[in-house]
Amino acid sequence: MNRNKMLAYGLLVLGLVLATYLLWNIFSEYTWSDIATSVSEIPPYNLVMALAFTAASYVCLTGFDWCGVRYVDNDLSYPKIGLASFISLAIGQSVGLAGLSSGGLRYRYYAHWGMNTEDVAKIVLMSGITVAIGLLMLTGIVMIINPADGAEVLRLGEPAVIGIGALCILVVGGYLVLAKFARAPVRIRKWTFKMPKLRLALAQVVIGTLNFALVAAALRELMSAGGDVSYLKAATAYVLANVAIIVSHAPGGLGVLEATVRHVMGDQASIGSLVAFRVIYFFIPLAIGIPLALVTEAIFRSRKTHSPPPVAEAGKVG
């Protein structure tokens, strides 16, 4: 086992240990009856809206892959991109280490459709950059517009929080400037990378930011069942939770997301809303993604089995 795999497994184990501790810390004061009652108190309208925002988020996530596929100058159709993206992320976001787990699934699909290893690696890289850009942009917006909640959680003054927000937006702006003017490719071993064109970089900013904004909206819908919840505060809780998830490497942010949101939102984040969010955004897509992956794999294998053998070239003896 090489060092990279050992590091990945080590981070996964640490993430699982942290997730177990945080989940125990959050749920130990509740009984199953308490949790079921809290979930049942969420009105059907809020559940439907949370599902709608979640569905819209997963559509945005297909845009992450679309940007990557267009970056490698491939004209693969959107339905195929959407299929690969949904299955990869529905499974990868729950399993943990999404860059590795979803990357492996992406390779299975894109390689089947004729892409090489370098192209798939670039698609995964572009998807990761879109995640970072979207998170930076939404973080910058909420830190500037709603510095009070960020200051309370980060134990910083509001001017410092506004400064962090401005820095996040400046980083995104710098990315766009590089996309406009930096055309020289960078070579890493045998692979060559270059900045995307400005139009594609702008698409990354819009799609990435919209995705995180939609997930925050889904979370707010579930928390607002117990009272009026500010969207900005819910968005602040969500972006801070994502920062904590990135640092902790907990699978699917399990425990980390709930603990951070609870810390920011206090009693507004009922145990029912946190459980419902986990089910709606992670478990339902996972329950759809696994059977879809199995069906798709069966179709791939069936087509491979029934495909005609290659025709021998004229003049060659078989």
Q: Which has the higher per-residue pLDDT, 255 or 294?
A: 294
CA proximity to 267, closest of 216, 233, 309 = 233
Tell me what pLDDT residue 313 has.
46
Here the tokens at position 162 are 């506004």
Tell me what pLDDT residue 65 has.
94
**pLDDT band for position 314 (50/70/90)?**
very low
Tell me what pLDDT residue 68 has.
93
User: Which residue's entry shows tokens 């979207």?
Assistant: 134
The whole-angstrom separation of Cα 121 and Cα 99 is: 10
The whole-angstrom separation of Cα 148 and Cα 163 is: 13
Q: What is the mean pLDDT of residues 181-196?
A: 77
Which pLDDT tens digit goes with each residue over 112-138? 888 988 898 889 889 989 999 999 999
pLDDT higher than 50, residue 106: yes
Give ∠ CA 277-204-70 in degrees, rounded to 5.
115
User: Which residue's entry shows tokens 């506004």?
Assistant: 162
pLDDT higher than 90, residue 211: yes
Domain boundaries, the chain: 38-296
pLDDT higher than 80, residue 31: no
Share of residues in the chain with pLDDT > 70 (%): 79
Of 16-25, 47-56, 268-277, minimum mean pLDDT range? 16-25
CA proximity to 272, closest of 47, 84, 122 = 47
Q: Which has the higher per-residue pLDDT, 26 or 250?
A: 250
Taken in order 66, 69, 80, 251, is the CA torsion positive or negative?
negative
Tell me what pLDDT residue 175 has.
94
- Burial track 3-31 (b if 16+ CB lie within 10 A, e otherwise): eeeeebeebbeebbebbeebbeebbeeee
What pTM value is reported for the model? 0.83
**pLDDT band for position 317 (50/70/90)?**
very low
pLDDT higher than 90, residue 271: no
User: What residues does 187 pair with on adjacent strands?
Assistant: 192
Helix or strand run (H / E) with residue 193 = strand 191-193
pLDDT higher than 80, residue 244: no
Q: Which has the higher per-residue pLDDT, 193 or 26?
A: 193
